Amino acid sequence: MKNLNNLEDLLLAVKSGNDSAYEKLCKDYLGLVITLTDKYYVMCQGNGAEREEFLQEAKYALYKAALSFKLDNGRVTFGNYAKRCVRNKLISLVRKYKSKKRSLIVVTPLDERKGGSASNFNCDELGDTMTALADKNLSAFEKTVFSMYLVGMKGKEISKRLKIEQKSVNNAIYRVKVKLKGIDK
């Protein structure tokens, strides 16, 4: 076996499927992988992302970079090429999480609003008693619609977000109002 301390030999060994060569490559470029992982992971931390997933994707991108790097290309070093490949992969992962965030309904459930929230909803307006009554007496669907309605969304916007008919949303809002008006405090 060739000397794996030489980058060219190391890359050739990775391309030929040598696992220990890939492990050495990972060790040699661990600083780059961790730096980029941490930089991009932090952008998605609150969206359900896990650092380990970002780290694995970065290592996979490093492996793909080793496989696709052209050794006879004198214009680009492997370090710069690997950095670009890892960065691009992590940016794609960030976009995936950001698009998931956009597609999710980001509404604070009624029972989480008791201590206040970052939304436009002011708990003092409805009162803790009303919040508890609404949470107790409404169906899960009605709670979702009502939560969105309370933060200022219109029926048309709610129906688009939930991907249901606007009539269903309007009916749910009506039922909520009737239920809450009919409750003896």
- pTM, whole model, 2 decimals? 0.53
Instruction: Mark whether 99 and 116 lie in a shared domain.
Output: no
Asked if 27 and 67 sit in the same domain, the reply is: yes
| Number of folded domains that form the chain | 2
Domain boundary among 74, 103, 132: 103
Cα separations (Å) of 37 from 65, 77, 142? 16, 21, 40
Same-domain status, 142 and 158 = yes
> 79 with 159, same domain?
no
What is the pLDDT confidence band of residue 183, given thresholds at 50, 70 and 90? low
Q: Kindly state the tokens that stand for 145.
A: 């619609």
Minimum mean pLDDT among 20-24, 116-120, 175-179, 180-184: which range? 116-120
Considering Cα of 104, then 109, then 115, then 121, what sign does the dihedral take? positive
Of the three residues 103, 124, 139, the one that is the final residue of a domain is 103
- DSSP 8-state code for residue 120: S
Do 93 and 123 belong together in one domain?
no
Task: Write out the residue range of the structural domain in which residue 92 sits.
Answer: 7-103
Q: How far apart, in whole angstroms, are the C-alpha atoms of residue 131 and residue 145?
A: 14
Asked if pLDDT for residue 118 goes beyond 80, the answer is no
Whether 2 is in a domain gets the answer no
Query: Do residues 94 and 116 share a domain?
Result: no
Domain CATH code at residue 173: 1.10.10
Looking at 57, 80, 103, the residue that finishes a domain is 103
Dihedral pair phi/psi, residue 117, rounded to 5°: -150, 175
Residue whose C-alpha is closest to residue 107's, from 95, 97, 115, 117: 117
